Structure 1
Amino acid sequence: MIRPLPSVAALSPYPMADPAPPGSIALSQNESAFPPSPAVAEALRRAAEGAELYPDTDWTALRAALGAAHGLDPARLLCGAGSMELIGALIRAFAGPDDEVLAPAQGYIFVATAAAQAGARYVTAPERDFRVDIAALLAAVTPATRIVFLCNPGNPTGTAIANAEIVGFRERLAGDVLLVIDQAYGEFDGQDAAPLFRLVERGDTVVIRTLSKAYGLAGARVGWGLFPPEIAEEVRKLISPGNVAATSQAMAVAALADQAYMRRTVAVTAARRGRFAAGLRALGLTPPESRTNFVLIPFADPETAAAADRALKAAGLILRSMRGYGLGHCLRATIGPEPAMERTLAVIAEVLRGRNVDGPGVR
């Protein structure tokens, strides 16, 4: 029998969302409720005509478009097949056995998987009311800490802390600790990212973003990051040449050129998110304030969350269970089509009414 390495055999598979059966609506993957800019389809058609050629391994046009959109030097950018590729490469490059990767307790769970792949120890610090607690993170730093990973706004909580807090946190970290700031939902946050981008100039900080969310390109797999040159040099050794398909690069360039469309997508999503969260509060639930394209739904207990999950599935609505994040009493709902959000509220209301009569529920 061919056996894997013990470190691989010990890994748990990355927890995926439940598959959406035919005819159901998936509100589990934090995908955009809207297609990308209309310009993307034409860019894809043109790029497909050259599909026999390898993609640009330096992402020249894509980096130029990203630099123009964010006021950044394209030479300081790296692109990945989604931000997950860059996250994994960063951890493999700078953490290994006997090292620790530190994150908030409800941090992006792929970081734990990537740390395990590198043989590093994944360590968490408690959060306060579903929000990052900077004091707790600082208290959790040890001599073994090599990377601190901070997702802001957070996934799965949706909450955000002020960028000024992150800047202050970086100033209190030792210079040999790499701070990785994941801004996958940065476009929904509304904060000026410039202070975080400036941290990269220190040489000990990386900012990661993606075009999967606000730009509606989850299927194209395009992530990017702003890197200090010395860190970028090491990360490039661990990402595949030609990692972002030519078609994906062309689609991303077209999407970035239509900033007005992206901003409308964000505004409509935020308004829909606000109505959905208000509906949850009217039912007696207390979702934390979200600055993303999803809402975390805390129930009174895991049993009520499980009952809601079953009822939603029966209604053809697939949300994300948060058991894998240690939040068994929560579900996460991506902001999707308006009728789907209204139906989700109606099903949850039915479940809560039933449990208030027949068993424990919200009080």
Structure 2
Amino acid sequence: MPIHGLPPSSAPIKPAHFDIERVIRPNILALHPYRCARDDYSEGILLDANENALGHSIAAPQANGETPSPEAELDATADLDLHRYPDPSHPLIKSRIAELRGLPSTDHVFLGVGSDEVIDLLMRVCVVPEREKILITPPTYGMYAVCAQVNDVGVVKVNLELSGDAGEGGERGRFSVRVDEVKRAIDADPTIKLIFLCSPGNPTGTLISLSSIRALLDYEPFKGIVVVDEAYIDFAEPGGSATTLISEYANVCVMQTLSKSFGLAAIRLGIALAQPPLIQVLSNTKAPYNVSTPTAHLAVRALSPESIKTMQAKVGELTKNRAVLIASLRALAPLGVGAAVGRQDANFVVVPILQRGGSAPDNTRAHALYKTLAEEEGVVVRFRGNEPGCLGCLRITVGSEAENVVVIDKMKKTLEKL
């Protein structure tokens, strides 16, 4: 089996008795890695990775009323004892997160190298390779399935349900968890140890109801953990976070991140929130110095009261931009832009591109629009047409006010030709 991403070679191998394909585990050889946004395009107006288009929210420290220069900031980072290993526990970061999310203490907080480390750790500590499984609800974040294959665990899929017609807000129904179907899957396969729920979903943009999450937590035949991925929670209406369930349920784990609302995707800080026993197991298993000193330094500043206020202001601005973007997309309906799919609880919008002059979603036209925007118009969005319930869909990150004007103008210009 060839190694994915590496072209075949006819060059002789030394020593002749060695064959790397016999050394690598079969599930890894068969792995198709997660395809991130930058694998396709890295220049232009980048509205494809759900980053915070308004930038980070770290409030700059001031000395004598003056904001330090970038050079001074770099010098401050270089003075962080970089020759020493980082603090393995980061109590100040955990304390600020616990306070922000309404948790009683730091022993409810775990820090990882992005949420992806948390996903991988949960599988490694909970799911026995080749014997046990996870359950996911497509369309959903692709790393759950990728990590499952890396860890050699099975995947059970119960697709989300898309129900309802376009309402006054222009959205086409909403995605919801088919709780009864998930329960039936659990009854049929008791080896399921983790249920991954993305809320708000990626790419659905839809917050999962707490009642649905409670129904799974309370389901006695399920002996595992419900993992709720809340990467986009700050863009949703208050009151929908599963963190409110942590004090009541030992079998829930909530994942969050500084990548989205805080605008700090580059520092790679992911968070797990749960009752202390699970947090301790994750801490016992992680690499000893997984969160770097520069990352921790920036996280502490990002979680200061001043920076949190800045983050909340930027979230408010992006929420307003989201409403304007949806209205602008609705105005493109005569050119074949359908009603936004799902509910808009994140910092992106998903819309189907329809057949020219028709009403059915069109994957070919949608992909052509995606390619033309990126390669000829300098606007990069994400094609999601191969996801369940997302036929013909593009996912558009909410940009700045100016960026949204450009993307609408370029879409209009391109759709007129397709």
Q: TM-score with structure 2 length normalisation?
A: 0.79
Q: Paired residue for 2:384? A: 322
Q: Secondary structure at the match of 1:131?
A: strand
Q: Does 1:205 align with 2:252?
A: yes
Matches within 5 A, 1:149-168: 149-168=196-215
Q: Does 1:79 align with 2:111?
A: yes
Q: List per-residue Cα deviations over 1:148-187 (Å, max 9, x = no partner).
A: 0001000111111322332233222535121001111111
Matches of 2:60 and 2:123, distance apart in 1:
32
Shift in Å, 1:323: 4.7
Partner residue of 2:274 out of 204, 218, 227: 227
Shift in Å, 1:38: 4.2
Partner residue of 2:371 out of 310, 313, 320: 310
Residues 21, 205 of structure 1: alpha-carbon distance in 2 compared, 3 angstrom cutoff: closer
Partner residue of 1:6 out of 23, 26, 38: 26
Shift in Å, 1:106: 0.7
> What residue ranges of structure 1 are gaps of 5+ in the alignment?
356-363
Shift in Å, 1:210: 0.3
Q: Paired residue for 1:117? A: 150
Shift in Å, 1:19: 4.5
Matches of 1:291 and 1:86, distance apart in 2:
23
Q: Paired residue for 1:360? A: none
Q: Paired residue for 1:91? A: 123
Matches of 2:60 and 2:112, distance apart in 1:
19
State the AA in 2 paired with 1:249.
A
Residues 198, 45 of structure 1: alpha-carbon distance in 2 compared, 3 angstrom cutoff: farther
State the AA in 1 paired with 2:340.
P
Q: Paired residue for 2:51? A: 31
Matches of 1:7 and 1:343, distance apart in 2:
43
Matches of 2:372 and 2:270, distance apart in 1:
35
Deviates more, 1:239-248 or 1:37-46: 37-46
Identity between Structure 1 and Structure 2 (%): 27
Shift in Å, 1:77: 0.8
Does the CA-based 8 Å contact 1:92-1:115 persist in structure 2?
A: no
Matches of 1:203 and 1:297, distance apart in 2:
38
Does the CA-based 8 Å contact 2:98-2:108 persist in structure 1?
A: no
Does the CA-based 8 Å contact 1:307-1:351 persist in structure 2?
A: no
Shift in Å, 1:58: 0.4
Does the CA-based 8 Å contact 2:373-2:414 persist in structure 1?
A: no
Q: Paired residue for 2:88? A: 57
Q: Paired residue for 1:359? A: none
Does the CA-based 8 Å contact 2:148-2:154 persist in structure 1?
A: yes
Q: Does 1:260 align with 2:309?
A: yes
Q: Secondary structure at the match of 1:52?
A: coil
Partner residue of 1:66 out of 87, 93, 97: 97
Larger relative contact order (C-alpha < 8 A, sep ≥ 6)?
1
Does the CA-based 8 Å contact 2:242-2:254 persist in structure 1?
A: no
Q: Does 1:48 align with 2:48?
A: no
Shift in Å, 1:23: 5.0
Q: Secondary structure at the match of 1:108?
A: coil
State the AA in 1 paired with 2:139.
Q
State the AA in 1 paired with 2:410.
V
Q: Secondary structure at the match of 2:59?
A: helix
Partner residue of 1:108 out of 110, 118, 141: 141
Higher radius of gyration, 1 or 2? 2
State the AA in 1 paired with 2:265.
A
Shift in Å, 1:240: 1.5
> What residue ranges of structure 2 are gaps of 5+ in the alignment?
1-18, 62-67, 163-173, 354-360
How many residues end up aligned between the 2 structures?
A: 355
